[in-house]
Structure 1
Amino acid sequence: MKKSILSIVLLIFLSTIFGACSSEKSASSKDITMVWYPNESGNDLKGARDEIGKIIEEATGRKVEHKLTTDYAVAIEAIANGNAELAFMGAQGYIEAKNKSKDVEPVVVPSGASGTLDDAVYYSWLAARAADAEKYKTNGEFSIDNIVDSKFSFVSNSSTSGFKVPSTDIVAHFSQQDQWKDLTPEDLMEGGKFFKEVMYGDSHQGSAVNLLSKRADVAAFCDTCVANYIEIADGDENRPGTVYRVKDDAEEPFNTLPGEEFTLISVTPVLNAPFVANLSSLSKEDLEKIQEVFTSDEVANNEKIFVPEDSEQAGLFKKTDKEKFVIADDAWFDPIRELSK
């Protein structure tokens, strides 16, 4: 009788062990879902997405499934709740996801030209149509003084360079005036108080199109997200007063706007966007494998990921000097957190 009971207990124990092993094997072999913001979900960046997916697959031995979105909130929720293992998102989106789940962590950040985090920035633009640019000058210099009561386009409330940074800049500038001393970012989210009308492009490309199609007078969007569709018509890169024009062969959503021009009226540097992971659904082992390959010289020299500056190929990142992926910890994003305090 005792032997019989002992045999049953042993059988249950072994079943549990083998079941756990099977479950662990299943979890480690399931697909990795990578979610992308609307800005990076277009057909023009399919090659770049696929190359990044290929590298992750080779590093982990797991298939990568790309989840494309048309809404920032969808991407943020997917990574926060573990429905996606990886995401490429702005600093503000990362912070929002981190606030929802302590399991969300940065993986890597694209460096600056120095190959370090010291110059790992891109630029938030406020722009007007070139034909209207003179309206946005004060004492001969470009200024945001005259954006009050305009029709304004943001990207998304969760966008770093398409809302968080420009709204903070606008509040800082105008709160020095008695009329606007109590102005808050929330006051800028809809028309009627500061702006005549407020709209959202849902992507940086969409916000730029709102401007060029004359739905908005002024728009916020960033340099990197529209770089594949535009070229400098006059001036220097990322400087107020510089005029950009839409390329003749620009893809959607700029394909109906060839030759249209806009002028920068404000330019602000922003911390580069991270790749992030949810460690409740991605193992620490896989995270380390991904970080190791992403920060390798092989990836830094991969022209499908870091596209040469003179290349006509569409890509996520430009190679002007020593650009590569580097590891950044959570504290590196504190300057963006401070904007909400």
Structure 2
Amino acid sequence: MKKALSLVLTLVLVGLLAACGGNEAGDNGGSASSGSKDTITMVWYPNESGSELKGARDEFSRIIEEATGKKVEHQTTTDYIIAIEAMANGNADIGYMGAQGYVEANAKSDKVQPLFVQSGESGTLDDAVYYSWLAVKKGEEDAYKSGSEFSIDNIAGKKFSFVSNSSTSGFKVPSAGIVNHFSQMEKFKELTAEDLLQGGSDKVFTEVLFGGSHQGSAVNLLTGKSDVAAFCDTCVANYVELVSGDANKPGSVYKVKEGAEEPFNTITGQEFVLISVTPVLNQPFAINTDTLSADDQKKLLELFTSDAVTNNEKIFLPKDAEGTAIFKKKSGEEKFVAVEDAFFDPVRELSGN
């Protein structure tokens, strides 16, 4: 019954694709052959679909239109699965996806391939990672320590918020860590990631919530809906600032910035503490090779790996600059680099795809 219900929900979501996702430049009217298309459709996860990032999305439009001579339409979404299905079924030509979402889309259609990814601080793939956080509200962090060190032992029995079960850093990575930790205990020795999707008296968590986006999961924590939440550093970087400790280290304290935009605008000043931090492979920009011509693929790769884009402050916000962008440099060396499918094998192995 659960599998049947899941299938029905998936079909409904796909059927409502146009209704659920915002199309910022009009309706593309469905997919067309890659050779005849005069429009490139970009799909975005909920994390990058907010109004505060419209300027950043518009800059992607501008530079892609200049490079290809084609109109760009943005499909914003309210659910990860909408973006994944859009890429797999050819309703979108390019999408900024988490590694897990890419793996899922690629499993549905091998026409979905990665094109480029943000480098690490070295400017290479060697350190192309971001961070999955488990966080608790400031003032409650001592309950999650074993001696002087942070431990996830005491997240059991709490209300927990994930992002989406298709999120790499908001579900797949943290759930793998939780399963690995708690399956060492007799009570949970048969624990699987699927068991973490629901709460209950016989489960690890009393209640399980899904934020729908990293921002939503963080808000679940800060508004008291959950005791612990999983979300990533990059997706909340525009809304929070480091108060104390070292960035991306357990024990670090972060605060919602004054003037933060929705959904944080009503909880400015709220603080949270990291109790667990795990590195995650950076998210790729993936393409559907069946709907995007080989010529456009080449043009896009040359464009996004160029110095012009690396130095474009509307794409990569400089290290110490104020403002809102999808990408913000930490070292100044970050840029987009070409990437191949095999780079994501560790996530594929984690997911069993």
Q: Is TM-score (shorter-chain normalized) higher than 0.5?
A: yes
Q: In the alignment, which of 196, 209, 229 is matched to residue 219 of structure 2?
A: 209
Mean alpha-carbon deviation: is it higher for 212-221 or for 229-238? 229-238
Code of the aligned partner of 2:195: D
Match of 1:122 in 2: 130
CA distance in 2, matches of 1:264, 1:69: 28
Q: Which aligned pairs between 1:65-214 and structure 2 lie closer than 5 A? A: 65-192=73-200, 193-214=203-224
Runs of 4+ in 1 over 2 A off after TM superposition: 24-30
Q: How big is each residue's C-alpha offset from its partner over 1:142-195, in whole Å with a ceiling of 9 and x where there is no partner?
A: 111100010000000000000000000001111112221111000100101111
Code of the aligned partner of 2:215: Q
* Preserved contact between residue 34 and residue 293 of structure 2 (Cα < 8 Å): no
SS of the residue corresponding to residue 112 of structure 1 reads coil
Give yes or no for the alignment of 1:38 onto 2:46: yes
CA distance in 1, matches of 2:183, 2:341: 30
Code of the aligned partner of 2:269: G
* Preserved contact between residue 35 and residue 293 of structure 2 (Cα < 8 Å): no
Match of 1:49 in 2: 57
* Preserved contact between residue 182 and residue 189 of structure 2 (Cα < 8 Å): yes
Code of the aligned partner of 1:298: A
Distance 1:186 1:300, change over 3 A: same
Give yes or no for the alignment of 1:219 onto 2:229: yes
Q: How big is each residue's C-alpha offset from its partner over 1:233-288, in whole Å with a ceiling of 9 and x where there is no partner?
A: 11110000001010111000000001100000000000000001001111111001
SS of the residue corresponding to residue 248 of structure 2 reads coil
Q: CA deviation at 1:28?
A: 3.3
Q: Which aligned pairs between 1:176-325 and structure 2 lie closer than 5 A? A: 176-192=184-200, 193-319=203-329, 320-325=331-336
Match of 2:68 in 1: 60
Distance 1:26 1:279, change over 3 A: closer
CA distance in 2, matches of 1:318, 1:259: 22
Gaps of 5+ in 2: 1-31
TM value normalised by structure 2: 0.88
Distance 1:132 1:283, change over 3 A: same
Q: How big is each residue's C-alpha offset from its partner over 1:298-322, in whole Å with a ceiling of 9 and x where there is no partner?
A: 1111111111111111111112221
Distance 1:307 1:239, change over 3 A: same
CA distance in 1, matches of 2:301, 2:289: 13
Q: CA deviation at 1:27?
A: 4.5
Q: How big is each residue's C-alpha offset from its partner over 1:78-117, in whole Å with a ceiling of 9 and x where there is no partner?
A: 0100001110010000000000011001010000111100
Gaps of 5+ in 1: 1-23
Mean alpha-carbon deviation: is it higher for 158-167 or for 52-61? 52-61
SS of the residue corresponding to residue 134 of structure 1 reads helix
Match of 1:329 in 2: 340
CA distance in 2, matches of 1:172, 1:62: 48
* Preserved contact between residue 219 and residue 264 of structure 2 (Cα < 8 Å): yes
Distance 1:26 1:174, change over 3 A: closer
Distance 1:129 1:61, change over 3 A: same
Mean alpha-carbon deviation: is it higher for 304-313 or for 214-223? 304-313
CA distance in 1, matches of 2:333, 2:296: 26
TM value normalised by structure 1: 0.91
CA distance in 1, matches of 2:69, 2:259: 38
* Preserved contact between residue 128 and residue 281 of structure 2 (Cα < 8 Å): yes
Return the index of the structure with the highest Cα Rg.
1
CA distance in 1, matches of 2:340, 2:37: 27
SS of the residue corresponding to residue 28 of structure 1 reads coil
CA distance in 2, matches of 1:315, 1:186: 34
SS of the residue corresponding to residue 97 of structure 1 reads helix
Identical amino acids, percent of aligned pairs: 65
CA distance in 1, matches of 2:275, 2:37: 50
Q: CA deviation at 1:30?
A: 2.2
